Structure 1
Amino acid sequence: MSTITLQEPVSRAELWSGRVLSGLVTLFLLFDGAIKLIPLPVVTQTMDQMGYGASDAMARALGLITLLCTVLYALPPTSFVGAILLTGYLGGAIASHVRIGSPLFSHVLFGLYLGLMLWGGLWLRDRRLRALLPRLR
């Protein structure tokens, strides 16, 4: 097992792959947060179907939390904290879908897919995270 030091540079391909993954996650979560801030009828209807009620106030609060955590993730100095907060947020989404019996691969595991992209993108672009979680060979 090799360890990565903080001096080891990230290759251009890894850096850009990480930026693309992180960018996709960021764009999706910004969109998700924005539609909750408005809130669009599809948001409140979905919240009602999930057992949380069709509350505009709750939708706005979730939108604000999503946007705040996503901005923290998008900014390099706070990306690790943002990733941790978004992991908790996505875990709550997974738990909500499990509770109502949503389809496994399309709904329940969507938060896992997004979380893997989130952490994978951060790992590829941030050598500090690589030092903390080195890859195994």
Structure 2
Amino acid sequence: MENIAYAGNISGKSLWVGRILSGIFILFMIFDGGIKLVPLDIVIQTSAEIGLPTTVAFARGLGILGLVCTALYAWPRTSILGAILLTGYLGGAILTQLRIGNPLFTHLFFGVYLGLIMWGGLYLRDRRLRALIPFN
């Protein structure tokens, strides 16, 4: 049994909603990292449009970074570290969209939406995070 500060019981419903939200986020990040590892033509084209380097090495580097952080998030012992690292990763995506002036709700806030799904899923399934940030 881990030494975790008491954060109340996690109901079965909260646990499963958290797992589902986290699963959706993880699947999206696996897809995102996968298309950058190949990389698909759309990745290189989009990189050019948003002013990022258009090399295969750059795309693969982003893909590897995203997948490593996602793996940390998916593994329960390192999930909070993974969420912190992914928050930085998503923040970079948000800044890139802001810098080029893309639409607010569809492009700029997409990283915010993903971050809310990621942290919400983790909060609902992880007793340690509930102990750290108690919403009473």
TM-score, structure 2 normalization: 0.94
Aligned match of 1:42: 42
Equivalent residue letter for 1:128: R
CA distance in structure 1 between the partners assigned to 2:41 and 2:122 by the alignment: 33
Aligned match of 1:106: 106
Q: Using a 3 Å threshold, how does the CA distance of structure 1 residues 46 and 13 change in structure 2: closer, same or farther?
A: same
Equivalent residue letter for 2:87: T
The answer to whether the aligner puts 1:71 opposite 2:71 as a matched pair is yes
The answer to whether the aligner puts 1:59 opposite 2:59 as a matched pair is yes
Q: Using a 3 Å threshold, how does the CA distance of structure 1 residues 7 and 113 change in structure 2: closer, same or farther?
A: closer
Aligned match of 1:120: 120
Q: How many residues in Structure 1 have an aligned counterpart in Structure 2?
A: 132
| Per-residue Cα deviation, 1:62-120 (whole angstroms, up to 9, x for no partner) | 00000000000000000000000000000000000000011110000000000001000
Tell me if structure 1 keeps the 8 A contact 2:7–2:130.
no
CA RMSD of aligned residues (A): 1.0
Equivalent residue letter for 1:88: G
CA distance in structure 2 between the partners assigned to 1:52 and 1:87 by the alignment: 20
Structure 1 runs (4+) deviating above 3 angstroms are none
Structure 2 residues without counterparts, runs of 5 or longer: none
CA distance in structure 2 between the partners assigned to 1:48 and 1:14 by the alignment: 42
CA distance in structure 1 between the partners assigned to 2:56 and 2:7 by the alignment: 48
Q: Using a 3 Å threshold, how does the CA distance of structure 1 residues 93 and 129 change in structure 2: closer, same or farther?
A: same
Structure 1 residues without counterparts, runs of 5 or longer: none
The answer to whether the aligner puts 1:87 opposite 2:87 as a matched pair is yes
Equivalent residue letter for 2:70: T
1:9 CA drift (Å): 2.1
Equivalent residue letter for 1:135: F
User: Helix, strand or coil for the counterpart of 1:33?
Assistant: helix
* % same residue: 58
